[in-house]
Chain A
Amino acid sequence: MRLTLRVWRQDGPDRRGRFEDYDVPDVNPEISFLEMLDVLSDRLALAGEEPIAFEHDCREGICGSCGVVINGRVHGPQRGTSTCQLHMREFSDGDVVVVEPFRARAFPVIKDLVVDRSPLDRIMEAGGYITVTAGSAPEANAIQVPKQAAETAMDAAACIGCGACVAACPNSAAQLFTAAKVSHLGLLPQGQAERWSRAESMVETMERFFGSCTNHGECESACPKSISIDFIAMLNRDFVRAKWKNRKLAGQKR
């Protein structure tokens, strides 16, 4: 099939970007979206132009490296699918396909379709862990976790950290990302000791970089792992309770 690709090109962080049109006359519908970009990039290189910079690595939907906006949809038209898992059979002959980087103030463009998502790591560093020193753990089966809790924790833990939730949100909020980690750890018995400090600290770090959630729900529909916004409700509840608990139990905090 024949496609027109309208791709965002930007030479560097401080450079002005623009859309460029590329005619791709012979797209095999069985190939993946990124394989189509590979083919185009190789052609550009051979024609003396710069290939399109885009991030990708595992190409099986788990590393979270890839992610572009396709025709206005974060990760493209297929629900629950990261860009690398999207295949060209989802498009039709003659389509104009607009490809842009994730847009969010916290994710500045580095080049073409590559953005800087490092603020997500700052949120993790603020408390997205359970403190365990290697060697100090109790026997694994000493901690019983109800199957339902383990399953729900896993639903949240499935987050691949791609940042689609931020890119899809009209406020560029990172609530779904933060909620997924807070809920994953907060649902497990192992995560209880730091539950309240974690919720408070991760949310406060999040707010340094990102906008606020106003319940649009765009994040859930863009999420390649279909992580539920129920977790945002859990986060909000934990955050409010944390405000009480952390003052009452720790007292000394601010």
Chain B
Amino acid sequence: MTRLDAKIPSAPIEDTWDEHRFSLPLISPANRSRFEVIVVGTGVAGASLAATLGELGYRVKVFTYHDSCRRAHSVAAQGGINAAKNYRGDGDSIFRLFYDTVKGGDFRSREADVYRLAQVSVEIIDQCVAQGVPFAREYGGLLANRSFGGVQVSRTFYARSATGQQLLLGSYQALARQVAAGTVELFTRTEMLDLVTVDGRAAGIVVRDLLSGEISSHSAHAVVLATGGYCNVYYLSTNAKANNASAIWRAHRNGARLANPCFTQIHPTSVPADHEFRSKMTLMSESLRNDGRIWVPVRSGDDRAPGEIPAGERDYYLERRYPAFGNLVPRDVASRAAKKMIDEGYGVGPLANSVYLDFADAIERLGRKTIEERYGNVFDMYQRITGENPYEGPMRIAPTPHFSMGGLWVDYNLETTVPGLFAIGEANFSDHGANRLGANSLLQGLTDGYFVLPRTITSCLAPLLGTEAVPSNHPAFGATEKAARERVRRLLVTKGSRTVEWFHRELGRTMIDCCGMTRHAEGLRQGIAKIQALREEFHEDVLVPGDGESLNQSLEKAGRVSDFFELAELMCRDALHREESCGAHFRQEHQTEDGEALRNDDGFSYVAAWGHEEGASEPSLAKEPLEFSYVEPTQRSYR
């Protein structure tokens, strides 16, 4: 069994990041332009990194499959971003944000990384305010805050319900400045098809121009993947339609280990799917749980309109089961509680697949105007989708896949197991353990991009001073390009009888059943067999219309779904191997008497990092043991 070393400097946790920053080599301003760095993805992580590296003087190439950086899915994050500013004087501190995040992640994250996240959070807010991000303000002109699930302080900064949009625009604007300055070269509508390694080191990438279909190579001293998460493996998720795992999966096939792939978060408050054509789930911000109360009718199958059900016949099940945190329990707990009620027949709505989120009390207490100010755009969004007015009756919400805590394994420098290849933001696994706390994802993306990787990347670059990047006409590039062309050709010539969309939906259904909110061994085994069969059918019977020499959206999707099949199987294997419940990973065989997740710290207090070896029938498991010196692992309790 391989043991992975995260290379965490040995120092008291408060000093780890400072001491590490000092011990890392420096690259003088005059030498920085001699280094080339490739960044793939332009969400908050990729855009902020590319901009910062450009400012520092490196030569940066940044790639996005969108027509503009501003489309990246960070744009859709609604609720906010956490920072340990303690502006409310309510007992917050860096240590408390660290503590909440480690506990919220159910003790499956790395302490040193999480502490750094909490420390840097303070600088992130400064940086974003200076960039002109229009955060909500108090009347005195100072910054406002709100609360999020899983915490008892108000540390979340927000810009209406469009915080992700505003933070992405901040990073995109910083990047636009560097593009104009010529330090960053931007490639839009260009999708990464594969990673190229030379002598085990990342040397560059192979990309496809989505308009011309041309496949070409780019080389650099270092490659950074900021390509987001993989919850679209479930087909129906809150992720944007194009979100995919291909970049990280290709990296994995080239030697990068993938950590905890089964840790995927199911968000409790999405608009439910009321019909079979639903193509995409829409999130209703977690911040709604600050003021909304979640309930179902006491009587199962009660089909009265919600307004006709008197207070005494409503079960406010979160408030009943978790009096201390009530409606603000962490996401995994809230989702499982909702699933339990729905499975037991208390679900509401046309397909009985949702629960109520009710603002009647809040509107009475605070007035409609305040609620409109806080959540207006989310309420409007709800009304457009469902045709129901949430100011007049309760919303209906349902749990939906939302975020992947798992991702490429990285060390403290955010470097993967392939030297020269880094992963940041949702694409890596590092900070959220088995469950991410609300408003920590924008924080992680920006922390990695603005402050962590721009510093730690010198550990990889400085020793390369004086060497050129491997040229992109090196035979390794040619071979990878050839393989990529062959994959594209195969997808196009099959001309079978089922569309890519059909296969994706089937895969999604299989995954949500066997590897969704709850999992069990038998179901996972059956799931693996089903995925394998479906994948075979895909390669024999998929229908991809058109050719590869122009814009072909079916072809783009086919490549992504093809990689999802392989990832899905690994997710199931990971879930099967982890004989415990922790955070979002809930194995039915492992639960407490109250139905909460039951961890097995003796057996599974480690990061499971899976490797791919050409020709091997099964992935290889390596472990990074987790040590908790500052937060003692306990049974999480939100009662």
A contact set with B: CB distance below 8 Å: 11-12, 28, 30-32, 34-35, 38-39, 42, 44-46, 48-51, 53, 55-65, 78, 80-81, 85-87, 89, 110-111, 114, 116-118, 120-121, 124-126, 128-141, 143-147, 150-151, 153-154, 157-158, 160-161, 184-185, 188, 190-191
| B residues in contact with A153, CB < 8 Å | 132, 134
Q: Which of B174-193 contact A (CB under 8 A)?
A: 174, 176-177, 179-180, 188
Is B55 in contact with A139, judged by CB distance below 8 angstroms? no
In the complex, besides A57-B240, A65-B67, 16 extra interface pairs with C-beta distance below 8 angstroms are: A31-B275, A38-B277, A38-B279, A42-B501, A45-B543, A58-B76, A58-B280, A62-B75, A63-B70, A121-B176, A129-B176, A137-B129, A140-B125, A141-B143, A150-B135, A190-B131
| A residues in contact with B126, CB < 8 Å | 137-140
Min C-beta distance of A5 to chain B, whole Å:
16
Q: A118-B67, A150-B135 are in contact. Are A56 and B277 (CB under 8 A)?
A: no
Instruction: Summarize A's interface: helix, strand, loop or mixed.
Output: loop
Is B451 in contact with A134, judged by CB distance below 8 angstroms? yes
Min C-beta distance of A156 to chain B, whole Å:
9
Total number of B residues with any Cβ neighbor in A under 8 Å: 81
Is B384 in contact with A125, judged by CB distance below 8 angstroms? no
| A residues in contact with B551, CB < 8 Å | 53, 110-111, 114
Is B277 in contact with A161, judged by CB distance below 8 angstroms? no
Is B385 in contact with A150, judged by CB distance below 8 angstroms? no
Residue B33 lies at the interface, judged by CB distance under 8 Å to chain A: no
| B residues in contact with A131, CB < 8 Å | 177
A45 CA to B69 CA in the complex, in Å? 30
Q: Which of B259-280 contact A (CB under 8 A)?
A: 274-275, 277-280
Residue B387 lies at the interface, judged by CB distance under 8 Å to chain A: yes
Binds A, one of B157-165, B333-341, B419-427, B532-540: B157-165
A92 CA to B177 CA in the complex, in Å? 47
Is A64 in contact with B553, judged by CB distance below 8 angstroms? no
Residue B68 lies at the interface, judged by CB distance under 8 Å to chain A: yes
Is B211 in contact with A154, judged by CB distance below 8 angstroms? no
| B residues in contact with A111, CB < 8 Å | 550-551
Q: A125-B176, A150-B134 are in contact. Are A51 and B451 (CB under 8 A)?
A: no
Q: Which of B377-431 contact A (CB under 8 A)?
A: 380-381, 384-385, 387
* In the A-B complex, the 3 residue pairs with the closest CB atoms: A144-B141, A129-B173, A137-B130
Is B173 in contact with A134, judged by CB distance below 8 angstroms? no
| A residues in contact with B387, CB < 8 Å | 30, 87, 89
A63 CA to B454 CA in the complex, in Å? 27
| A residues in contact with B381, CB < 8 Å | 60-61, 85
The residue of chain A having its C-beta at the shortest distance from the C-beta of B141 within the complex is: A144
The residue of chain B having its C-beta at the shortest distance from the C-beta of A144 within the complex is: B141
Interface centre among B72, B131, B179, B283 (most CB of A within 10 A): B131
Within 8 Å by CB of A121, from B68, B240, B553, lies B68
Residue B488 lies at the interface, judged by CB distance under 8 Å to chain A: no
The residue of chain A having its C-beta at the shortest distance from the C-beta of B157 within the complex is: A140
A128 CA to B451 CA in the complex, in Å? 23
Is B211 in contact with A110, judged by CB distance below 8 angstroms? yes
Q: A51-B554, A64-B70, A121-B68 are in contact. Are A134 and B55 (CB under 8 A)?
A: yes
Type the 1/0 row for B128-152, where 1 means its CB is closer than 8 Å to any CB of A.
1111101111111111000000000
Within 8 Å by CB of A158, from B162, B275, B282, B451, lies B162
Residue B85 lies at the interface, judged by CB distance under 8 Å to chain A: yes
| A residues in contact with B211, CB < 8 Å | 110
A126 CA to B177 CA in the complex, in Å? 8
Residue B588 lies at the interface, judged by CB distance under 8 Å to chain A: no
| A residues in contact with B451, CB < 8 Å | 134-135
Is A134 in contact with B127, judged by CB distance below 8 angstroms? yes
Min C-beta distance of A197 to chain B, whole Å:
13
Min C-beta distance of B151 to chain A, whole Å:
20
Is B173 in contact with A124, judged by CB distance below 8 angstroms? yes
The residue of chain B having its C-beta at the shortest distance from the C-beta of A84 within the complex is: B280
Is A63 in contact with B545, judged by CB distance below 8 angstroms? no
A111 CA to B126 CA in the complex, in Å? 43
Residue B66 lies at the interface, judged by CB distance under 8 Å to chain A: yes
A46 CA to B68 CA in the complex, in Å? 31
| B residues in contact with A191, CB < 8 Å | 132
Min C-beta distance of A103 to chain B, whole Å:
17
Min C-beta distance of B56 to chain A, whole Å:
9
Is A57 in contact with B137, judged by CB distance below 8 angstroms? no
A54 CA to B554 CA in the complex, in Å? 11
Is B277 in contact with A60, judged by CB distance below 8 angstroms? no
The residue of chain A having its C-beta at the shortest distance from the C-beta of B48 within the complex is: A134
| B residues in contact with A157, CB < 8 Å | 134, 159, 166, 169
Is B131 in contact with A130, judged by CB distance below 8 angstroms? yes
A59 CA to B176 CA in the complex, in Å? 25
A139 CA to B123 CA in the complex, in Å? 8
Residue B71 lies at the interface, judged by CB distance under 8 Å to chain A: yes
A64 CA to B75 CA in the complex, in Å? 10
Min C-beta distance of B450 to chain A, whole Å:
5
The residue of chain A having its C-beta at the shortest distance from the C-beta of B77 within the complex is: A62
A45 CA to B166 CA in the complex, in Å? 38
Min C-beta distance of B499 to chain A, whole Å:
5
Residue B52 lies at the interface, judged by CB distance under 8 Å to chain A: yes
Residue B316 lies at the interface, judged by CB distance under 8 Å to chain A: no
Is B129 in contact with A143, judged by CB distance below 8 angstroms? yes
Within 8 Å by CB of A60, from B67, B76, B132, B501, lies B76
Min C-beta distance of B170 to chain A, whole Å:
9
Type the 1/0 row for B199-243, where 1 means its CB is closer than 8 Å to any CB of A.
000000000000100000000000000000000000000001110
Type the 1/0 row for B319-363, where 1 means its CB is closer than 8 Å to any CB of A.
000000000000000000000000000000000000000000000
Is A128 in contact with B68, judged by CB distance below 8 angstroms? no
Is A45 in contact with B499, judged by CB distance below 8 angstroms? yes
Interface centre among B51, B76, B125, B137 (most CB of A within 10 A): B137
Min C-beta distance of B356 to chain A, whole Å:
19
Q: Which of B47-92 contact A (CB under 8 A)?
A: 48, 51-52, 55, 66-73, 75-76, 85, 87
| B residues in contact with A85, CB < 8 Å | 381, 384-385
Q: A60-B283, A110-B551, A137-B129 are in contact. Are A146 and B277 (CB under 8 A)?
A: no
Is B188 in contact with A130, judged by CB distance below 8 angstroms? no
Residue B471 lies at the interface, judged by CB distance under 8 Å to chain A: no
Q: A130-B173, A145-B141 are in contact. Are A42 and B67 (CB under 8 A)?
A: no
| A residues in contact with B499, CB < 8 Å | 42, 45-46
Min C-beta distance of A123 to chain B, whole Å:
9
| A residues in contact with B68, CB < 8 Å | 64, 117-118, 120-121, 161
Q: A111-B550, A157-B169 are in contact. Are A58 and B135 (CB under 8 A)?
A: no
28 contacts between A and B (CB under 8 A): A42-B501, A45-B543, A50-B545, A51-B545, A58-B240, A59-B280, A60-B282, A60-B283, A61-B381, A62-B75, A64-B70, A85-B381, A86-B384, A89-B387, A114-B551, A132-B127, A135-B123, A135-B451, A136-B130, A137-B123, A137-B131, A139-B126, A141-B85, A150-B135, A154-B159, A160-B165, A188-B134, A191-B132
A120 CA to B85 CA in the complex, in Å? 36
A121 CA to B69 CA in the complex, in Å? 9
